[in-house]
Chain A
Amino acid sequence: MAQPAARVHDLCKTYRIHERPPGLAAAVRSVFHRQYKDLEAVRGLSFSVEPGERIGFLGPNGAGKTTTLKILAGLLHPTSGEVRVSGFVPQRREAAFLKSITLVMGQKQQLLWDLPPAETFALNRALYGVPEREFAATMAELEELLGIAEVARKPTRQLSLGERMKCELAAALLHRPQVLFLDEPTIGLDVSMQLAVREFIRRYNERSGATVLLTSHYMDDVASLCRRVVVIDQGRLRYDGDLAELVRSLRPDKRVSLRLTGAPDREALERAGTVVELEAGRALLQVKQERLREAVGFLLGLASVSDLTVEDPPLEEVMRELFAPTDGAAAAPTVAEPA
């Protein structure tokens, strides 16, 4: 059996933070007596990723997602635990390891600001030692997938955010890495550009068989790219498994969206499920999974219903529920056991 693309066992990362209250007196005191606080960013994380898999990291801000990605990319030394990526120990930063991975961090760019992206591509070619012919072939492929042939010759500072992001992706991929760490790759982009980047990541993964580890605040990114998710909260693993399964375990109800022709009849609709929204022309119902078949049959029998769609609740809503502050463990939402 092939070795995992990434394997993490009991990973911990603690940052030592210098703390100082505001004010002059505190500033003077801190010269002689510095106070530190330990911040546990990652606490005992374990998971494994198979080659070619696309997995999403979910969690609120400060959950430890980015720290985990940075450890996997060899930027940070773990405090304890074991990490392997393509068989390498990341923090040793061996050249063969660095050539096999890439890390894209949202709007943190590697493009040279005052020069055209083509210069950054040439620089990366030299740094990664990509042979000329392979470079030309990869560039042609990336230019086709991303549509950047024109923009690569304009100075980076004159490009739009979307154009820059596409060039960032090209710069990050032209050495054909086998493991992609993508930290918020669509942040700040408009909807159509998000869609384009998402589509590109999918096609790149399918064409090259590269492994993709993704974090994003846009749930659509995760929902459309990753079947499997790793949910991290306060540095701990809360869930590792199928995304659809997670949604089902948290929100077993389905959403039934209706298009109505006649006057809405709330009483009739409530016989099928809980009415979440009701206005002229449309209605939204929440229906228990086990009653779905019966409810759909009933709703289609109503004269005022012209169209009906069944869908899962939006992932944003599920995540909000998952990470909602609770008064203690007893009140915590039920979460599926980690796989």
Chain B
Amino acid sequence: MSFAAALERSARAYPALLRIGFAEAVAYRAEMLVWMLTATMPLVSLALWSAVAEAAPVGRFTQTRFTAYFLATLVVRQVTGSWLVWEMNTEIRSGTLSRRLLKPVHPLVTYSAENLSALPLRAALALPLAILTLVVVEPGALPSSPLRLGVFLVALLGAWLINFLTMATIGTLAFFLESSTAVFEIWLVAFMLLSGYLVPLELFPPWLRQAATALPFRYTLAFPVEVLTGMIDTRGMLHDLAVQWAFVAGSGALALLGWRAGLRRFAAYGG
């Protein structure tokens, strides 16, 4: 009952949260642009792998396929990234989290709206470039079936949720540790290696590929990219979507547990 009421309250507040979050994102657009430019690593990977594939394809990756893969990676990363851990770390340590705690809507809801409201600006910059290039380089690369497009959009949401909820879980460590950002750095290294951000996972040796399939990282990036670029068949796509959403549920439960345990320790210094 109260959970349903909380959901309804959050849903009603969400449009206003998104609108004001967007207004804030516009106010900080210059910072955002600089920050977005730091997330262009896939272009570096693209240059490297294109050079490698010049003479002969690597596995089933031709130069064109590498281009499609890394441009899709760039776009997916831009629209699903979350850096909530920094904000939570600052707010918990400085006590300014108090402001959120006084509101009758769960802080994770307000954080999520702030995260999502920056999305239009990020997408506005990343998407046209990527779509244009994809169309020019490999017209057949974009998903043609409505099912694939639908799965891609749900996978995109799932990828963002895993990222966001994991960042929230790591963020709650700031209630217990001096700083949770060190843990985030470890997560980031694992993400770089195992999400397909730098190297497509199918180029890994089998054991590492299998490990990557069992871990959440792939579902935050490579999976939606593979769906978009048609590298995965329909059956595999639906199976992996189910796995992805199991990770969403798991990371959601962890974030809520961490949050509940952390609040008991919150000291609200200074805030």
Contacts and interface: CB of A to CB of B under 8 A. Distances in A.
Contact of B271 (A74, A99, A105): A105
B24 A112 contact: yes
Interface in A82-113: 93-96, 98-99, 101-103, 105, 108, 110, 112
B18 to A, nearest CB: 10
Contact of A128 (B28, B101, B104): B104
B268 interface: yes
Nearest to B110: A127
Contact of A76 (B12, B110, B178, B266): B266
Given A95-B5, A122-B16, A114 B266 contact: no
A76 B268 contact: yes
A119 B23 contact: yes
Contacts, number: 79
A77 B96 contact: no
A102 B98 CA distance: 12
B189 interface: no
A127 B13 contact: yes
Contacts of B103: 98, 124, 127-128
Interface residues of A, number: 32
A161 interface: no
A98 B28 CA distance: 30
A123 B5 contact: no
A101 B101 CA distance: 12
A124 B99 CA distance: 11
Question: What class of interface size applies to chain B in its complex with A?
Answer: 20 to 34
> Looking at chain A's contact residues, is the secondary structure mostly helix, strand, loop, or mixed?
mixed
Interface in A265-314: none
Contact of B27 (A18, A70, A101, A115): A115
B192 interface: no
B105 interface: yes
A15 interface: yes
A70 B268 contact: yes
Given A127-B105, A129-B13, A76 B20 contact: no
A227 interface: no
Contacts of B235: none
Interface string B79-119: 00000000000000000101101111100001000000000
A75 B266 contact: yes
B264 interface: yes
Contacts of B246: none
Given A75-B101, A115-B24, A95 B6 contact: yes
Given A70-B98, A76-B268, A123-B20, 6 more contacts: A96-B104, A103-B98, A108-B270, A126-B16, A127-B13, A129-B104
16 contacts: A75-B102, A75-B266, A76-B266, A93-B101, A95-B9, A103-B98, A103-B102, A105-B98, A108-B96, A108-B270, A123-B20, A126-B13, A126-B16, A127-B16, A127-B103, A127-B105
Shortest 8 CB-CB contacts between residues of A and residues of B: A126-B16, A95-B104, A114-B27, A98-B104, A126-B13, A75-B268, A127-B103, A110-B99
